[in-house]
Structure 1
Amino acid sequence: MLYEPVKTFVQIRKPDPKYQIGSGLVERIAKEIKENEIDIVVFGNQLSPSQKYNLAKNFKVEVIDKIELVLRIFYKHAKSREALLQVRLAELKYELPRAKEKVRLAKQGEQPGFGGYGDYEVEKYYQKVKREINIIKSKLEKLKKHRENLRKRRGNFDTVGLIGYTNAGKTSLLNALSGDRKEVKNQVFTTLSTTTRRIRGIKRRILITDTVGFMDDLPPFMIEAFLSTIEESANSDLILLVVDASDSLEEIERKLKVNYEVLDKINCKSPIITVFNKVDKITYEKREEILKSLKRYIVNPIFVSAKYNINLDKLKEMILENLNLSIGTVETDNPKLISYLYENTEILEDVLEDNKHIITFRAKEKDVNRILKAVRV
């Protein structure tokens, strides 16, 4: 946890151009800060630089909004070089339209959160931010090409991508399907880097990939900053869209919409299985209500519990059924071909007749056609 919440204030009114909130509430919060020695104030609404400056002037402590809080959480969990670059890109894209105003305000007098900006010339700082954005984009593009090369080397594997809202249990599901022990925390954005593992207990070479989770109400620039890692999952042969079944129906509906918006943005065409995780936390009636009320948003639904291994074998069966696989049969006594089939396809049946193996196998359609063509030659 970055910060320990002390008190929450809610005000429903038209946003004040100077403070975002009314001046009366500003006074109440300033008093609360002094009495409880509060270090920082976080706003759920997005603040303009001038609103932050005016609030910090009254509160005498740093003021940030929801976007800046999310960026700080991102930084806390970013481990890989790519994740750090993506967080920095999101931060700079947030900074760019505010850069000139921040510098002007800093020159009026230092306030918490504005330290250092006054050392810059307005236009020079703006151009500095733009240059850094372009440099980071170039570095991320190189890392993207590296990942594409890695994907090509995995040609013998089917790929499954985990997509879903943050804290839906994607990492827990990755662990349950792969037998991995990747750290799981009940916090948002604990996964920023791409993690790929092999699914165990299944007669196919299938890789499953987990990456950053989605969140509603985030501005487009933040989603765009992480598109490269999201694409790593979305470009898979099959998508597991992971949903927290214990959320309210309204929450589930909103989060599903966010998922589909992002998948549409990156032009994802892969088949989808909707995995409702944490089924151990809901009743049978809630399950039926989800299926009935949210039917228009659900594709190939299954209810599982990654924590208690509920329905995971059935999920593996669904993964096989939805991987767009084909079935082929060959008759051979070639030990190299038999070995290849056992290592690279799912063997459905192997019958020995007249010293020849009649093998029925399942694989990607292009691989089945290639194998059958090679046998006929």
Structure 2
Amino acid sequence: MTIALKRLLMMNVSSSIIFNYMGIFINLFIWEKGQQIFDVAWFNLVMFIAWGLAFMYGAKLLARFSIGSIMRISAICAGITFVLLSWVHVEPKLLYLSLIALPVGITNGFYASASNIGISLFGKGKEFTAFFSATNVIGQIIAFVNPLLFALIIKWIGFSGSFVVMFLFIGTMILVSFFVPHISLKEADEAVFKNFSIRKVFVTPSLKWMIPSLIAGGFFIQFQGIFSLIFTFSVTKDKLAIALLQIMYTAFTVASVYIYQRFSRTRSISDSRWLTFGMLAAATGFLLALFPTPSILILSNILTTIGLFFFFTIWSSRQFIATNHLEPIQQARFLVWRELILIISRIFMLALILGITDFNGFVFKAVMVFSFSSALLIPYFSSKSDASVKGIDC
């Protein structure tokens, strides 16, 4: 692996620690304020609006600046987040939640645009295979260690102390950003947002079938993402126990990785069947959530976690295959649209979740059935897109 890729890997490590913390403990911090589903849903809704806008603006800035510059803006916004969490407390509560959500969304949006578009431009050689392998391994280690480490820090010095600790990783992220590869869209013949209409980006049958797949995927991802956290928070108030549950879910993901890799070598089970299995596991997890006892909620999270792994692995690889032949600027446009469609569908799902007050009410059951139906449609949309790539259905 080249020095440039090693530096990019170091950037991924420092940023992954920050994003893992934000995903679990900022949501827990908000949940503990009133244990209201509405509060967590509102925070995430505002965050994704900011995320989508920042992703688009970050893609535009890449025509003038390198990914390192965009990553520094992301790190600075992360710092603003922890300043607000530590020292700003305003009323009404919705304003406070929005103030926190905005820099969190901007942090994620800028980093996602720099990372996703930058990596798509960097290349796909053998050394990049080593880079992605190392990224996956490190990501799994962080998913194991980070929740436990910060649960202990919060128990020891409280949330405020953990916010201060995060500045160490933000500082690392800023420092490393000066040494990452100087990748940008300066060499592109056209601007990202020229010829950006959805008809001009999703031009082939396989790409067109991705649109409903992305919409359904956004619904599924958001429902699973927010309720896996809320179910866990509902099971126990002990932060160490919450961290251990998150580690257990990660362990099931790692086990799924091992099983999938072992069978994929022989191709004894097709990717379409793995995807169907994943969606059925997720759907079963959704159904179990209708019986909200602590043990059932944990089992529900296990099944939806397994389902999410197979969904992401196969769904993402099929998208890569369908876009691999595109020019860099076309790939950048596709990635921006992909992010926007996912974010819009996630915002729509969060708007529905705002009306949920408990796990036994009609609204929760209706939203769950909607997510359940979306999950079951994904294999169909994905297979249609895959068939179009192979020229079976053009």
TM-score, scaled relative to structure 2: 0.23
Question: Which of the pair has more CA radius of gyration?
Answer: 1
Give the number of the structure whose residues are more often helix, by fraction: 2
Give the number of the structure whose residues are more often strand, by fraction: 1
TM-score, scaled relative to structure 1: 0.24
